[in-house]
Amino acid sequence: MREAEVRRLLAANLLCALAVVLATLGPAFLLDGFSVLGTHLTWLCVCSVCVATLNIVLHLVLKPNQSPKRRSFGHKISRFLKCCIYFFMSCILFHAIIVLYGAPLIELVTETFLFAVLLSTFTTLQCLCLLGPNIQAWIRVFSKNGAMSIWESSLQITSVCSILGAWFGAFPIPLDWDRPWQVWPISCSLGATFGYMAGLIIAPLWIHWNRKQLTYKSR
Q: How far apart are CA 75 and CA 216, in angstroms?
A: 29
Q: How does pLDDT run along the chain (219 residues), one tens digit per residue? A: 577 888 999 999 999 999 999 999 999 888 888 989 889 999 999 999 999 999 999 998 987 766 666 667 777 899 899 999 999 999 999 999 999 998 888 888 999 999 999 999 999 999 999 999 999 999 999 987 778 889 999 999 999 999 999 999 999 887 877 788 888 999 999 999 999 999 999 999 999 888 777 766 554
Q: How far is CA 77 from CA 117, 206, 211, 219, in A?
A: 23, 36, 37, 25
Taking the CB of residue 55, how many other CB atoms lie within 10 A of it? 21
